[in-house]
Structure 1
């Protein structure tokens, strides 16, 4: 029997990993394999995915719409050779990925026969600035979607949410809109019965351009929380996204999930048992030429000094 593929796309910080986790938690015994692509050598998202019955496969240090195309097809082929095969495959793309290029690869006849692309889901952040809807990358992510999951609607008032839903509908009139606060979404919407997949037409492949770049920073020992906060304060205005796992000198027994989206930073405690590795590891994402590694290293050197 064919194994359906769910492709999850969305801009940086929209809430893709939260939604994928909720899907996996609702698997109800189904073997779901998760393929997670992060834009950086450290795949934070793969560490945060829990509950995949058929395992998590990490694709790091690039995006699967360009430099990792071959890796994606090989990964899918390997998953389909497992015994037993997964019941479904969820692919979470990097926030910098153009899903149209990925869809084109998934139309490969060999993959399509065994693993048809059933649903393309785009996570859209209701709390993001209205100007984001004119971003060419986000527009491409929205236009290819069958389903648009509106995240973070609980962070805005009703008129703002209604206006965002209307704008999203105008961008893609074919897609079904559903609110997905906290990643909550009906499983039958994202993983329908096998056999509903349709072949898709895509535009010819366009030349890729390097719009974003990533920088990784790690520390083996717990770091100063105060120093880290100062460093992020210095760097935030030139970053489009940052995320990672943080271990602090102030609370060495607690691991934190750090997230920075549009200048807003959060720290969320994580269960120590859920972490495969120890130490601090942060991925910084910026538009090309907005920041250089030496500036990140200089700012983060303060965090390395324990208070």
Structure 2
């Protein structure tokens, strides 16, 4: 049996992990493996996990979730050799080029699935015009065979239409899907259940140097956060939204309750960690900036956030 290999790309915070969650919940027929950058980005309900070991989680619905280790070659060749998978889906890094993993579709044991790129309806037009990340976003869209416009529930109808037009201009040969706010899973089904679009999309080869601004992305992690006032901390993070392209992590309040926090598209989302999910090993917040002075920006934001984390409530 050959597994249909699909690629999921898109800029930081565009909804890739949300799409992966829906696919793991059984959108695709047969047995599916999803390869992700980090298990922590995928919300798997505890009662769906059959077993977990090493870099693989086995789910009760027959799907598996694999983490891309330092040796991507080992991960992909192992999946190609299994022979018991109907689908394999690879989530590309938020600043990565989906065209690079797409080459695996011709590897023995795989057959071509779509290269899908998520585009945040509330942010994609702004990102395409950004001096430092525009090349990265445009390159991702150019590589797409399917573009999925996400987060339409957060966008005004006119904003969604403008996002669609921007994506159509950046990826004129791609199949374009718009997420239905009332049925977001329908787009995921449509994206991966249909035939694979043509791959001649005019994209640059993976080693093209045009994506020079990808090197402006820098990240840091705050791992020395103790229990804190999570709502107050979220407000401070929101005040830094204009300086960051992404933030994501886990916080703990003084009562010992865990919370998930994300910054994406200039918005901060704070919510309690769902019941039944395993507790994180420790509080952590990953920050990403995209600017020639990204290292300085991250240092300054880090100082502000650490001060907020250690300040008394009130």
Q: What TM-score comes out, normalization by structure 1 length?
A: 0.79
* Inter-partner Cα distance in structure 1 for 2:230 and 2:206: 48
Number of corresponding residues? 285
2:127 aligned with 1:125, yes or no?
Answer: no
Q: Which runs of 5+ in 2 are unaligned?
A: 49-58
Change in 2 beyond 3 A, CA 1:247/1:128: same
8 Å CA contact 1:15, 1:151 repeated in 2: yes
Aligned residue number for residue 248 of structure 1: 253
Q: What TM-score comes out, normalization by structure 2 length?
A: 0.78
Aligned residue number for residue 96 of structure 1: 95
Change in 2 beyond 3 A, CA 1:306/1:272: farther
Aligned residue number for residue 219 of structure 2: 214
8 Å CA contact 1:122, 1:149 repeated in 2: yes
Aligned residue number for residue 64 of structure 1: none
In the TM superposition, residue 295 of structure 1 has moved relative to its aligned partner by 4.8
Aligned residue number for residue 26 of structure 2: 26
2:184 aligned with 1:189, yes or no?
Answer: no
Change in 2 beyond 3 A, CA 1:227/1:54: same
Q: Which runs of 5+ in 1 are unaligned?
A: 61-67
Aligned residue number for residue 271 of structure 1: 274
Aligned residue number for residue 163 of structure 1: 162
- The worse-fitting range, judged by mean Cα deviation, of 263-272 and 26-35 is 26-35
Change in 2 beyond 3 A, CA 1:190/1:263: closer
8 Å CA contact 2:97, 2:206 repeated in 1: no
What is the DSSP-based 3-state SS (H/G/I as helix, E as strand, rest coil) of the residue aligned with 2:36?
strand
What is the DSSP-based 3-state SS (H/G/I as helix, E as strand, rest coil) of the residue aligned with 1:30?
coil
Aligned residue number for residue 152 of structure 1: 151
Aligned residue number for residue 65 of structure 1: none
Alignment match of 1:116 (pick from 92, 111, 136): 111
What is the DSSP-based 3-state SS (H/G/I as helix, E as strand, rest coil) of the residue aligned with 1:21?
helix
Change in 2 beyond 3 A, CA 1:128/1:188: closer
Aligned residue number for residue 52 of structure 2: none
What is the DSSP-based 3-state SS (H/G/I as helix, E as strand, rest coil) of the residue aligned with 1:86?
coil
What is the DSSP-based 3-state SS (H/G/I as helix, E as strand, rest coil) of the residue aligned with 2:126?
helix
* Inter-partner Cα distance in structure 2 for 1:198 and 1:174: 8
2:241 aligned with 1:236, yes or no?
Answer: yes
Tell me how large the CA RMSD over aligned residues is: 3.0
* CA displacement 1:61-114 (0-9 Å, x = unmatched): xxxxxxx6xx222211122344x633211111121112223324x25x5xx221
